[in-house]
Each structure stands twice: as structure tokens, then as C-alpha cells.
Structure 1
Amino acid sequence: MKMLFMLRDAFIEANPKLLENAGTLGEAKVLFTDQGIAKEQLKREVADVDVIVVAVVKIDSEIIDAAPNLKYIMKFGSGFDNIDHIYAREKGIPVTNVPGQNTEAVADYAFGLMITAARHITRKDREIKSSHWELSMGHEIFNKRLGIIGFGNIGKAIARRAAGFNMEINAYGNHKDYDAATRLNVNFMELDELFQTSDLIIICTNLNETNRKMVNPDTLKLMKPTAILINISRGGLIDEEALTEALKNNRIGAAGLDVFAEEPTKSELAGLPNVIATPHIGGATYEAITRIGDVAFENLKRFGEGMELKHLVN
């Protein structure tokens, strides 16, 4: 079988064993996509492949139709909003993901963004490197009120870490795991109340058409002027124009953004002084990529052998 891997450059470098293993199953081709890819080129690349393994590149109905031999799409990670899995199902093409393997990496990263934003760490680092020494005041995250949007695997991992900072932990989610909430001392609340009362808000929910731009002018108006917003999920959950205006006018304190509506981003938002911006690296650890690669290869092997696939999303 012909497999096309569209992964971040660093993912391949961190786990070369994945391609070596895949090569035992058939032809494994790599398309590096960190700098984006034009749709017409993407159509040419998928024209003769049987399997697509993709990280963040958008696989819509047009791309699926451009691949007449396509029999299987694998998301190299958990969130599959970049794949038109409904159309794939109509075409008889299974779509799987690799859930849960980057949970701890992303939860760690959320706290990195929180502390960095609260204490201006990146700005101070840049100043020191330009020979400028100046004290600046920040905020502690200890004892603060944390709002978690999305209480899945990552939300729960964040709550576990927040206990060590003695935080009051509140969460909003459509699927409420009351047993886990009790165990982790988490209180569920409605979204507006979470925006109004939180000192720090972390978005870690899946993107869908019901929550697109859930951070918008109305919800931003509810937030405290010192509040910090962290997004480690998907850029489409935020109205970037509205957040840009709120940050420029100091209506909220800061933001830590690992994801953007378009990636690579060229948005004004990423360049603001009170924004910590990173290139979608929350799950990019050697440990997480190794775990994802192991689960991915197992499913590729199952597909090659005609066995039932794990982690079907459609």
C-alpha cells in the first residue's frame, strides 16, 4: 500500500522509527507541511495514495475526491476537526485518530503558558538579551481561580496539576464526568459564569460548529481586566479580531496561544506584547510523539492485515 505522511517536520525527526516501521508495510512517503501547502499541490500529492496519515493539514471533501485510491485516513493525534470524516464515511473511507497519547504533554504546556504570561517571562528574556535590565511586576497563579473549558483527558490532567497550585478549579463541558470532578475537587459551572469569575481560563475542548468563536466580543466583556486566556486546543474557538482588540485595549490581562485560526499564522494577534504565541507545539514532546507513533503503527498494521481498526471516529 502507498502511505502519505503529512506530519510536522519535528515529529519525523523525533520518531524516525515510525517511518522505518511503516516501510515494512508498503511505500511510505513524507510530505513536510510546517510552512503550509497549497491545495493544488496537495491534490497532486494524494492522487495515488491508499492511506493518508495527517497532523494538521486540512483534508476536506475536495482532497478526498482527488485521491481515488484512498482507503484510510489516520489523524496523527486526537483532534480530528481538520478531516471531513462525515464525507469520508459516505465514501466508505474509515477515519481513526490517536487519542490520549499527548495528554500529559499538553497539560504541562498549559501551565508553562500560564506562568509565562503571568510573569512576563518571554518579554523579560528578550529584554535581557538586548542588554536591558528592568524590573516588572507580575501575578502569582498560586491560589487563583482557574476555569477549564473542556473536561476531557487534557482538562482532567490540568485539574490534577492545578491542585498543586492550590487553585479553585471550575470547569465547563458538555460531557460532565462527575466522578472525576469529585475526585479532583472540580466544580462545574455555566460558561458565562466561568468567564466572569476566572483569573485564568484554559481552553482544551474540541472544535465544532456549535462552539466556533466561543471567545468573542460578548464573552470577552465578561472577563476580568487581569484575566489570562490560554488556548491549547484549536484557533477556531477564538474570534481573533475580537481578542486582538481586547488585548490592545487592556480589557483583559494577557493571552497564551499555541494555536491559531490559520497556521502558520500571520495575524496581528500573535505579535502583541501581551500575547505568548507558539507554533502549535503543546503536544510536541519526544515522549508523546513516541507514544502516538506506536499507536499509529499498530493501526496501520491492522489495516494492512485487514483487521478491525481501533479508535474509529466515523
Structure 2
Amino acid sequence: MSEQFPRKVLVTQRFFDAASLSYLQEHGCEVQIAQLADGQGDGDLSEEQLLELLTGVDGWIVGHAWITSSLLAKLPRLQAIARRGVGYERVDVNAVRAAGKVATIAVGGNDASVADHAIAMMLALGRRLGDSKARMVNGDWAIALGSELYGKTVGVIGMGRIGRGVVRRLAGFDAKVLAYTTRPDWEYSLEYGVRYVDLDTLLAESDYVTLHAPLLEETRFLINAAAFGRMKSSAFLINTARGGLVDDQALLEALLDGAIAGAGLDVFLSETDPTYRATTDALLALPNVVATPHSGASTHEGLQRTNLLAAQCVVAVLNGDTPPASCVIADGRGKFSTEE
């Protein structure tokens, strides 16, 4: 157990709520919340800027900063790294283990927020909400006919916590659900009327295709030009997962060519690859694209849950305990090591 009090905890994420702050303070932590410039996230900070903030810190609640071996080697006092989110492609988990530190994610905290967001995008696209408002602003009040989500076929790619949340919500729309996953749960499929199919079948039959898969080497550009060629021209694509799952240039071409009807995008390739910025700008300019700035998980309720989960993980590590197993992505501490 750490003998140093107060333990210093740095938060480099916005919207850290009072209850989570109080939790850390009640458990002997001195909390510093980084003051970032407007529009700046911790993923925009250089290693030098991070080191300036993190020197002398025991626990770090982080968003999208890169966790590298170079950074960790210069932070001997840092013990706990808690992501306020669930993706961890920017965390070098091997470096965390090698440095004897612990890295965690906030599993389950934002599932409902992202599932709601995916449904909202389906409804906005089908009912042409963005396009209608833009027309009205320009004085055109003519009715733009949309389409219902009710009774449609929705293809869900990835059946983890968020994908399942989307399926439960779709039950209220009497939707037919197709699912593509490497881990089919047959009992779940019977309960919710899910039909597991291969990817080609899902793309060909779905009116909406919604992505909820992790970004891995084998899933990068899972939705590419060939995939758009298999989809209905009346179909919509929803991506609230990771930008790298979709080839955004191929998506732009599919939308311009009328290969699909529209897209709802909360994530973009340009978030990690600036060379795609022009592609992102072109997508945003289209009337049949509904877009948000990677905010699917950002609700008051969702952030309160993930803040508290991250805070609980930090306190557990600083106390010499083990956070919930589902939250731990790397643990380099002797007997607690996840490599054992």
C-alpha cells in the first residue's frame, strides 16, 4: 500500500464531475485538473507537455493521450493510468507492464450513451433532420420525405456491450436485427430475435448498418469500397465506434455516387491521420451526413459513470489493490500481473 499522502492524481480530461472529485479527495488524493486550451484535448499534447504535467504524479485519469514506453520511462512515480473510456489503441500495454504500472479502462460506463447515440443517428438520417433544418434556414419549408426506423432491418457489426444495447433499443422499433460477430451468443439471439449472419449477408440485407467493433489490425477498413458495393442504395451507415473501421475516402465516393443513402458519423480517420482532413471536410459538407465530434459517449450521465470508474481504479491501484478484472488492460505489478 502506498505510504505517501496525499497521493497526487492528475486529470487531463474535461467534464470531471464534483462527485468523482470528492471520491478521490476522500481517499487521500490531491487532485489536479489540467487546464487545456479551448478545443484542445490531451491527445493533442506533446510528450514534453505531458511530462510537465505528470512529473510527481501517482495516478493519471486520461482521455486520448498516447501512453508510450518513452513517456513511462520518465515517470517513475506514476503507478495508475485510468482511461475514461473503453478503447485503448493509444496505450502501449506492453510498455505499461514492463514499467510495473497498471492501466485500466472504464468498462460499462458509457455503453448506454453510445447506444442512444447510434439510435439517434438512425432516426436523424431516416427523417432527414439535418437536411430539413438546413433547408428551413435558407427559407425552404418544403417537406422532405423521410423513412421510418420502424420495421426496418438493422445490421449490427460487433455484439459487445454497446452492440447489445443497440439491439435492446431496436426492439422498441420492431426492427429485424442481423448481427456479425466472432462470438455468437445463441441464447442471447433467441431472447432478442437476433439472426447471426456473415458480413456479406448483413451488408446486402440491411437498411441500416451500425458499427460497434473494436479497431484491430483485422478490422481496419472493414467497411471499404467493396463493402459499399454490397449495400443497398437506400441503406445508411452508422459509425460510433472507431474511425479506422471505415475507409472514409471510399465512404465519400459511395455517398457522392449514390451507392448508399447516407451516413451518421461520430468518428473519423482524420482524428488519427491528418492526411484525411480534406476527406472529413467533404463528408461534413454533404446534406445526407449527420456528424458529431466523437461525442457519442459524452453525456452528463455517461461521463459521471466513467469518471467514477476511473477514480475507483486509481484509488484501488494506489492502495495496492486490484481494480475490477474487466477494467484492467495491463498490470505489471508482481503477483497481480495479468501475464501470469
Same structural fold, with TM-score higher than 0.5 when normalized by the shorter chain? yes
With normalisation by structure 2, the TM-score equals 0.85
Which of these two proteins has the greater Rg computed from alpha carbons?
A: 2
1:19 equivalenced with 2:14 (yes/no): no
Match of 1:136 in 2: 144
Match of 1:35 in 2: 40
Match of 2:284 in 1: 270
Residue 318 (structure 2) aligned to one of 294, 301, 304? 304
With normalisation by structure 1, the TM-score equals 0.91
SS in 1 for 2:308: helix
Please identify runs of 4+ aligned residues in structure 1 that moved more than 6 A.
Answer: none
Instruction: Describe the superposition over 1:2-25 as per-residue Cα deviations: whole angstroms up to 9, x where unpaired.
Output: 322121x3x22xx23222332443
1:234 equivalenced with 2:242 (yes/no): yes
> What amino acid maps onto 1:18 in structure 2?
S
Identical positions, percent: 32
SS in 1 for 2:271: coil
Taking structure 1 as reference, are residues 75 and 172 closer, same or farther at Cα in structure 2, changes over 3 Å only? same
- Contact 2:88–2:105 (Cα < 8 Å) also in 1: yes
1:98 equivalenced with 2:98 (yes/no): no
SS in 2 for 1:252: coil
Match of 1:313 in 2: 329
Q: Structure 2 matches for 1:1-314, cutoff 5 A? A: 1-7=7-13, 9=14, 11-12=15-16, 15-24=17-26, 25-31=28-34, 32=36, 34-36=39-41, 37-39=44-46, 40-263=48-271, 266=277, 267-268=280-281, 269-310=283-324, 311-314=327-330
Instruction: Describe the superposition over 1:239-295 as per-residue Cα deviations: whole angstroms up to 9, x where unpaired.
Output: 111111111222111000111223398422233222111011212222222222232
> Which shifted more, 136-145 or 16-25?
16-25
> What amino acid maps onto 2:24 in structure 1?
A
What is the Cα deviation at residue 43 of structure 1? 4.0
- Contact 1:156–1:180 (Cα < 8 Å) also in 2: no
SS in 1 for 2:167: helix
SS in 2 for 1:262: helix
> What amino acid maps onto 2:62 in structure 1?
V
Residues of 2 paired with 1:236 and 1:61: CA distance? 23
Residues of 2 paired with 1:212 and 1:87: CA distance? 23
- RMSD over equivalenced CA pairs, Å: 2.0
SS in 2 for 1:42: helix
Residues of 2 paired with 1:146 and 1:258: CA distance? 18
> What amino acid maps onto 1:305 in structure 2?
N
Structure 2 runs not aligned, ≥5 long: 1-6, 331-340
SS in 1 for 2:178: strand
SS in 2 for 1:147: strand
Residues of 2 paired with 1:305 and 1:17: CA distance? 20
> What amino acid maps onto 1:236 in structure 2?
G
SS in 1 for 2:179: strand
> What amino acid maps onto 1:308 in structure 2?
T
Structure 1 runs not aligned, ≥5 long: none
> Which shifted more, 228-237 or 255-264?
255-264
SS in 1 for 2:82: strand
Identify which of structures 1 and 2 has the higher relative contact order when contacts are C-alpha pairs closer than 8 Å and 6+ apart.
Answer: 2
What is the Cα deviation at residue 92 of structure 1? 1.9
- Contact 1:257–1:275 (Cα < 8 Å) also in 2: yes
> What amino acid maps onto 1:301 in structure 2?
V
Instruction: Describe the superposition over 1:57-116 as per-residue Cα deviations: whole angstroms up to 9, x where unpaired.
Output: 332334333434322211112222222223212222211111112112211111100010
> Which shifted more, 259-268 or 229-238?
259-268
Instruction: Describe the superposition over 1:209-258 as per-residue Cα deviations: whole angstroms up to 9, x where unpaired.
Output: 21111111121211111110001111111111111111122211100011
What is the Cα deviation at residue 44 of structure 1? 3.3
- Contact 1:159–1:169 (Cα < 8 Å) also in 2: yes
Residues of 2 paired with 1:122 and 1:66: CA distance? 48
> Which shifted more, 147-156 or 259-268?
259-268
What is the Cα deviation at residue 41 of structure 1? 2.4
